[in-house]
Amino acid sequence: MNSNEPSALNWRTSSYSSANGQCIEVATAAGAVATRDSKDPDGPALTFPAVEWLGFIENVKARSFPRT
């Protein structure tokens, strides 16, 4: 089994997630971060290059996204 296949990854949920199940799970893979819907663990996963994910997280922490 390829260690980058979604079923082989070590998925985790944010400590900020609520108990209602409306959250995403993330897992690290070779140079990437995968995301999936916690309600559909066998469904599709989106994968982002690690450097882009880190940039996204930095922007979230800095609240530097434009408000609509």
Distance CA 39, CA 61 (A): 25
- Report, in angstroms and rounded to the nearest whole number, the Rg of the chain calculated over CA atoms: 13
Domain spans, the chain? 6-62
Largest CA distance in the chain: 43
5-60: per-residue pLDDT in tens? 656 899 998 777 766 667 889 999 889 999 999 888 889 999 999 999 999 999 98
pTM, to two decimals: 0.73
